[in-house]
């Protein structure tokens, strides 16, 4: 029998995927959970890592990406970084986009997706939110993931674009503007209070690989039992900087002092987490989603994509915590 109520009562579901670096792997589990519940996704808005997952979902390559991520080793992850001596960031970003092109065709355009996808970035000079709803997908994603101080910003005409999380870490308003009747938001910053803060370096500048004036010293930066880098060629320069990256990522507590300091990436990551938490709190006061899903990944570092399994598991648990709300507020209305 024709159901007239169903025809006029059906609602469009929009999903807002927030920023949060490697914590965003949890987005994959959320989308898988929604699919398992039979909840359709009619549109997506993503900020930073949320833009990556949105694009992968729309391309139909999310499962393949997920499986590859679970098999990734530390050397695979570090190989995605194309480090440069700090100018506008530590990483060029070309290798990361090359990696993503395995899953998102370089010719893909946002307006050609079967479901609408909006990607959020930030204009550096004006501080305004920039929303991409058309154009090359990978260009928009590259702008959206430009973590301040880590990835070099993207030039677009007269604009300089940085991470979407700087102004809009949870783009609920964007997905509402796209026409969503019911909104599901995935907030990766439910808190910024760490119960345990792993500090990788102590407060000795020289021990961290720098001089007393704070300048980089590549010879001192070489990990234990490794030769210092010879910067006479691009290849050697690259390997030398990669060894420096390895020391930043390495978890090691000093045996010389009880006073420990975080690495530069922990300082950047935690500072951004605090900023995005505060902005998200204000966003949620103005734009309350139909269902809010909040994975608890506070201990996960911004660039630690090797913790994929933990992030996926917590993403699933976060959905299960909201299972009844998803059923009552979403599934019964679509």
Which strand (E) or helix (H) includes residue 27? helix 25-36
Residues 261 and 97: beta-carbon distance below 8 Å: no
Count the neighbouring beta carbons within 10 Å of the beta carbon of residue 330.
21
Work out the average pLDDT over 238-257: 50
First to last CA, the chain: 18
Work out the average pLDDT over 87-108: 90
Please write the tens of the pLDDT for every residue from 130-154: 999 999 999 999 999 999 988 899 9
**What is the percent of the chain with per-residue pLDDT over 70, rounded to a whole number?**
77
Task: Round to whole Å and give the CA distance between 49 and 163.
Answer: 9
Nearest Cα neighbor of 137 from 121, 155, 119 is 119
Residue 214 to residues 204, 210, 217, Cα–Cα distance (Å):
10, 5, 9
Question: What is the torsion angle, in degrees rounded to the nearest 10, for the CA atoms of residue 50, residue 56, residue 59 and residue 62?
Answer: -130
Pair of tokens at residue 314: 């917590």
Task: Round to whole Å and give the CA distance between 311 and 57.
Answer: 17
Residues 83 and 91: beta-carbon distance below 8 Å: yes
Task: Round to whole Å and give the CA distance between 130 and 84.
Answer: 26
The pLDDT assigned to 64 comes to 97
Task: Round to whole Å and give the CA distance between 135 and 133.
Answer: 7
Please write the tens of the pLDDT for every residue from 66-87: 999 999 998 888 888 777 766 7
315 three-state secondary structure: helix
Q: Decide if pLDDT at 197 tops 60.
A: no
Q: What average pLDDT does the chain have?
A: 82
Please write the tens of the pLDDT for every residue from 288-330: 999 999 999 988 988 889 999 999 999 999 999 999 999 999 9
User: Catalytic: 313?
Assistant: no
Q: Decide if pLDDT at 124 tops 60.
A: yes
Residues 87 and 152: beta-carbon distance below 8 Å: yes
| Catalytic pick among 48, 51, 54, 144 | 48
* Burial class of residue 159 (count of CB atoms within 10 Å of its CB; 0-12, 13-18, 19+): middle
Nearest Cα neighbor of 50 from 191, 192, 186 is 186
The pLDDT assigned to 283 comes to 96
User: Catalytic: 144?
Assistant: no
DSSP secondary structure of 127-145: --EEEE-SSBHHHHHHHHT
| Catalytic pick among 82, 139, 163, 273 | 163
Task: Round to whole Å and give the CA distance between 171 and 17.
Answer: 7
The pLDDT assigned to 88 comes to 78
C-alpha dihedral sign at 206, 74, 94, 59 = negative
The pLDDT assigned to 213 comes to 30
Helix, strand, coil content of the chain in percent (nearest 5): 45, 15, 40
Pair of tokens at residue 55: 């694009």
DSSP E strand stretches across the chain: 13-17, 43-47, 117-123, 129-132, 154-156, 159-163, 182-186, 201-202, 260-261, 291-293
Task: Round to whole Å and give the CA distance between 225 and 247.
Answer: 13
């Amino acid at each position: 029998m024709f159901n007239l109520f169903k025809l006029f009562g059906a609602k469009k579901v929009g999903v807002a995927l927030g920023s949060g670096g490697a914590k965003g792997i949890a987005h994959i589990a959320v989308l898988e959970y929604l699919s398992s519940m039979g909840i359709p996704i009619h549109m997506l808005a993503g900020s930073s890592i949320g833009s990556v997952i949105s694009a992968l979902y729309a391309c139909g390559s999310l499962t393949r990406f997920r499986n590859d991520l679970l098999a990734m080793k530390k050397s695979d992850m570090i190989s995605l970084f194309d480090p440069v001596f700090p100018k506008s960031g530590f990483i060029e970003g070309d290798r990361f986009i090359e990696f993503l092109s395995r899953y998102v065709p370089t010719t893909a355009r946002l307006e050609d997706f079967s479901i609408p996808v909006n990607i959020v970035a930030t204009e550096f000079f004006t501080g305004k939110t920039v929303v991409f709803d058309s154009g090359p997908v990978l260009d928009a994603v590259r702008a959206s993931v430009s973590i301040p101080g880590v990835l070099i910003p993207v030039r677009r005409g007269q604009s300089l674009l940085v991470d979407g999380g700087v102004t809009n870490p949870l783009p609920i308003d964007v997905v509402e503007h796209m026409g969503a009747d019911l909104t599901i938001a995935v907030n990766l910053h439910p808190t910024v209070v760490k119960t345990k803060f792993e500090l990788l370096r102590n407060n000795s500048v020289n021990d961290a690989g720098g001089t007393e004036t704070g300048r980089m010293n590549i010879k001192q930066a070489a990990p234990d039992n490794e030769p210092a880098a010879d910067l006479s060629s691009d290849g050697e320069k690259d390997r030398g900087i990669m060894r420096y990256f390895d020391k930043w990522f390495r978890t090691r507590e000093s045996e010389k002092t009880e006073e420990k300091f975080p690495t530069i990436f922990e300082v950047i990551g935690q500072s951004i987490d605090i900023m995005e938490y505060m902005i998200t709190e204000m966003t949620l006061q103005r734009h309350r989603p139909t269902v809010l899903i909040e994975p608890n990944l506070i201990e996960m570092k911004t660039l630690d994509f090797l913790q994929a399994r933990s992030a996926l598991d917590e993403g699933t648990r976060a959905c299960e915590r909201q299972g009844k709300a998803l059923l009552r507020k979403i599934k019964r209305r679509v």
